[in-house]
Amino acid sequence: MKQEDFVIYEEEIEEIEKALRRLIKDAQAKCVLLVDKDGHLITRQGFTQSLDSTALAALLAGSFASTREIARLVGEPEFSVLFHQGKKDHIHITLVGERTILAVVFDDRTTIGMVRLYAREASVNLDRILTSGSQGDHPSEDEKRTGLDSEFSASLETRLDDIFSERS
Amino acid sequence: MASINYAFKEISCKIVYYGPGLSGKTTNLQYVHQKIPAQTRGELISLATDQDRTLYFDFLPVNIGRIHGFSTKFQLYTVPGQVYYNATRKLVLRGVDGLVFVADSQKSKMDENIESYQNLVENLSEYGYNLDKITLVFQYNKRDLSPINSVEEIQKILNPKDLPYFEAVAVKGIGVFDTLKCISKLVLDQAKRKQLFPQRELAVKELQKAETGVSVSPVPQSEQISVAVGSSGSFDISAGQITSTITEEKPRPVIEEIIPEAEKTKVEGSLEIKLKVGEITKEEKMKIEEPPPREGPTIISWSASKRSKPKGFFLWRIFKNLFH
């Protein structure tokens, strides 16, 4: 397998969320989402209630992946910024490090320039958090054990039986 | 790869339905979407053409709820089956945890099944994945039609390794949930196993403590880590399978495989390392006193060349044995 599982810890999330909140404030955006390139939502901030973030995360990752292929075809390694302009709302998408994507949803209260400026800043900051976070020793071994211990399989089986039982 | 979020206590796995065009991949997802309780699933998103042929992917998030405190989610994707859409099909495979190969049982479709399977192998290899290491189950769909190939015939051609398979009639829902249940369980078992035995990091950590001048650094966008030993050469580690890069004329030690002892005996924190130089193979066991470190994301940068003197460290010993 090419890549390891993507693991996020609490202290990282706190820092990430802080950075995202600052980005919303600075750029006056509506909401921001941090998504990994495989389409899993890492976290989100701002007015996201009305959004289906799971689907949005998968679609953002998909759109980023196809854009990257387009880049490759025209001889670019990667388009690091993507911008979708709508009538009211717009989305600005930036690459963060190697594995994550930062999407900023904003409207006409702010400008693309502002968003771009602060998104770039936030992207550097987030990359630092994600990279440095993975170096430190996390004292969450216990948590890890309780999370995925041997009883996990048994519980899983019951749950899968419940939900995926023959419903035909 | 599976994403594990400790802050929100969430595990998220990606399952992809693969197979030739019109074999019933989207139908599988539609049936799951129809039948499971609304609170456990999100909306089914289809990026399809006007003729309802999948253009990019279908996506259905399923949340099976908390298991031992962890909210467990599956993201089900299908690929576009038509040969023409290979570019987008390949993209969907990125980060896949488990695969369902949906084969069309009709006799006339066998060639398409084979072609699609070969295409899967090719596309995976472009990501550096190996089908032997990825969780895969088969679904032989359209069992209600005729003329169809017998299960034995399909098994012989598509699934000689006898991986789990299910007979299905996806439009009627027969076999759909059996397949999904099997793949979700296998995928989570795999995530759990990897979680508990993060062999790669164990190896890295040990190597970092090694003889002076050892530096360990990950190769970007791959799970390889190149390990430079002094100025003598380097070898790459990748989880479970280690390949070598010989930078000088003289062959250098290559770690051939790392078997976490824990996996076999349930004694955590011991590793078995097999080193190979030319024809000589050397096996070494070592104990790791501290609990295994957590498994981190790949965006990691290690730099370890602390000049801490090792206490009879294995690498040094093996080097000595092999070269003197």
Give me the residue spans of the domains in chain B.
3-196, 199-323
pLDDT-based confidence at B195, cuts 50/70/90?
Answer: low
Query: Distance of alpha carbon B186 from its chain centroid, rounded?
Result: 11
pLDDT-based confidence at A166, cuts 50/70/90?
Answer: low
CATH number for the domain that contains residue A115? 3.30.450.30
pLDDT tens column, A2-17: 456 677 788 888 899 9
Chain A touched by B38 (CB under 8 Å): no
**Residue found by looking up tokens 């000049």 in the block:** B307
Q: B172 to chain A: which residues are within 8 Å by CB?
A: 168
Tell if the CB–CB gap between B3 and A40 is shorter than 8 Å.
Answer: yes
Q: Is residue A110 part of a domain?
A: yes
Return contacts of A67-76, CB within 8 angstroms, 24+ apart. A69/B87, A69/B91
Chain A touched by B230 (CB under 8 Å): no
Q: B67 to chain A: which residues are within 8 Å by CB?
A: 152, 155-156, 159
Tell if the CB–CB gap between A148 and B88 is shorter than 8 Å.
Answer: no
Tell if the CB–CB gap between A144 and B221 is shorter than 8 Å.
Answer: no
Tell if the CB–CB gap between B12 and A1 is shorter than 8 Å.
Answer: no
pLDDT-based confidence at B4, cuts 50/70/90?
Answer: confident
Least confident residue range of A97-101, B201-205, B264-268: B264-268
Structural domain of residue A71, as residue ranges?
A: 10-139
Q: Is the pLDDT reported for residue B316 higher than 90?
A: no
Contact B283, B272 (CB under 8 A): yes
pLDDT value for B114: 95
Chain A residue with minimal CA distance to B5?
A8
pLDDT tens column, A43-54: 999 988 888 888
- C-alpha closest to that of A117 among A12, A47, A22: A22
7-36 in A: which are within 8 Å (CB) of B? 7-10, 12-14, 36
Question: Which of B63, B294, B302, B303 should be substituted to probe chain A, the one whose Cβ sees the most A Cβ atoms within 10 Å?
Answer: B294
Tell if the CB–CB gap between A98 and B221 is shorter than 8 Å.
Answer: yes
Q: Which CATH number fits domain B3-196: 3.30.950.10, 3.40.50.620, 3.40.50.300, 3.40.50.720?
A: 3.40.50.300
Chain A touched by B243 (CB under 8 Å): no
What's the total number of domains in chain A? Answer: 1
